[in-house]
Amino acid sequence: MATPHYLMTDPAHFEVCYQINPWMDPAVWQADAGARARAAAASAELRQAIETAGGVVEMIPAEAGLPDLVFPANAATVLDGRALMARFAHPERRGEEAPFLAAFQALRDRGVLREVAELPPGVVHEGAGDALWDAARGWFWGGHGQRSTLAGLEAHADFFGQEVVALELATPHFYHLDTCMRPLDGGHILYYPPAFTDQALRTLRDRVAPDLLIEADKAAAEALCVNAVNLGETVIMAKAPPSLRAALEARGYRLVEVDLSPFIMSGGAAFCMSLRLDLTSQPHAALAAAE
């Protein structure tokens, strides 16, 4: 199996200087004199946790004026070496599109990726944050209704030639699917039910056996623990309440906690801060057997 390969961004210019989700409050950031230093330490700790778990991490440089460039999961969706670049809903993030495109083209030129493509004109979709590949089942879970559009999900189905199961998000507090749902390598789904519409919950529960669903409680969701990185049995996430730790350990996962509080001030955590570059649609027999 290939070494897990991730993309992260230097956090040198990270800050909370605008508000495009309920987590963000520039006044709170400005009042916290140590936030920038803690953000640098948190990013380094997350990178170390990924590498300790067996991954390798590519770093791209920070750019002044683009504080949310630290969340490359929103930059693109990647599967089978093919990247479909994002188009952002909010003007505050549209400046990220050009540097992310250049970074992905450089990855293609080095052979890390084999294709980099852009969405059809006018289509909005915010990358892997709203396109979660489920290796156990062989489809994308697609979030929509807050940032990404149904047209964006359709573009993913067309480009990747894979099924996209649409799940509508119910609240701006959980604005991307990755903030409230995480398919895990053992076939489980970690999710926070109040983040979804009733129809989305029916779809999810119709498609996944009850014993493979792990419900996060309010405390875990508000700590952005669902926004996690998963490598095999290892789950890397923000500081978790004991209830979530117990639920994961009972199913055979090993939890690694990282203090990501500076990034949570912007509404992002471990998954948002990294993008897996080596995902493949090839079936994994051990995962497929989980269902």
180 is catalytic: no
> Could you give the CA distance from residue 57 to residue 277 in angstroms, rounded to a whole number?
10
Give residues with Cβ within 8 angstroms of 285, minimum separation 6: none
d(CA 7, CA 258): 18
List % helix, strand, coil for the chain (3-state, nearest 5).
35, 20, 40
Q: Catalytic one among 176, 180, 188, 225?
A: 176
Strand order in the sheet with 234-238: 229-231, 234-238, 254-258
Tokens coding 109: 């030129």
Q: Answer left, alpha or beta for residue 267, where phi above 0 means left and psi between -120 and 50 means alpha.
A: left
Residue 16 Cα distances to 19, 51, 67, 80, angstroms: 8, 27, 7, 34
* 186: Cβ contacts below 8 Å, ≥ 6 apart: 136, 233, 251, 252, 253, 287, 290
* Residue 13 appears among annotated catalytic residues: no
Which residues are known catalytic residues? Answer: 176, 272
